């Protein structure tokens, strides 16, 4: 699972018209992040110390039941935005930056140097602890 296909999928959206398949694929990815809970989950995981967060830390921040949180995490996982790993009793999630960068490239201004996705990337993980 979590097939990280680093495709050159996304020129900026203002560069050329998207084909139907491209648009459908990107819409699926965007639907995954177009939710307040999932957006917060993503940012909580991505900004957590060590680059990963335990589910037990996430659930407390919401007024939602555990199954609901699991549901949102699964959607993020299926979209290829996060990846989970079980260590002992707890499950830890971490961001898959390639997928997030796809979105960044899609909405990047035309003049941007697009530092990610197959280009002459100067640095992929600026913060690694």
Q: Which residues lie near DNA (CB under 7 A)?
A: 31, 34-35, 37, 54-56, 59, 63-75, 84, 86, 88-91, 93
- Beta partners for 90? 87
Q: How far is CA 26 from CA 59, 116, 124, in A?
A: 28, 17, 22
Tokens representing 123 are: 């640095």
Which residues from 13-32 bind a copy of itself, rule CB under 8 A? 13-18, 20, 23-24, 26-27, 30-31
Residue with tokens 């830390």: 57
Shortest CB 106 distance to a copy of itself, Å: 8
**Alpha carbon 104 to its chain's center:** 10
Sign of the alpha-carbon dihedral angle for 44, 117, 115, 29: negative
Shortest CB 116 distance to DNA, Å: 26
Q: Residue 82 binds what, of DNA, a copy of itself, none (CB under 5 to 8 Å, by partner type)?
A: none
Angle at 23 between CA 22 and CA 29, to 5 degrees: 95
Site membership for a copy of itself, residue 109 (CB under 8 A): yes
Q: What is the binding site for a copy of itself (CB under 8 A)? A: 13-18, 20, 23-24, 26-27, 30-31, 33-37, 39-40, 42-44, 46-47, 61, 95, 97, 100-101, 103-104, 106-112, 115-124, 126-127
């Amino acid at each position: 699972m979590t097939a990280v296909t680093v495709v050159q999928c996304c020129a900026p959206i203002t560069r050329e018209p998207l084909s139907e398949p491209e648009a459908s694929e990107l819409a699926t990815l965007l639907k995954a992040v177009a939710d307040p809970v999932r957006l917060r989950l993503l940012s909580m995981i991505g900004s957590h110390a060590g680059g990963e967060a335990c589910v037990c830390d996430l659930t407390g921040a919401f007024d939602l039941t555990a199954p609901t949180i699991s549901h949102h995490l699964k959607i993020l996982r299926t979209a290829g935005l996060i990846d989970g790993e079980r260590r002992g009793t707890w499950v830890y999630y971490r961001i898959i930056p390639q997928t997030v960068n796809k979105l960044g490239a899609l909405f990047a201004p035309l003049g941007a140097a697009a530092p990610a996705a197959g280009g002459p990337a100067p640095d992929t993980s600026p913060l690694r602890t």
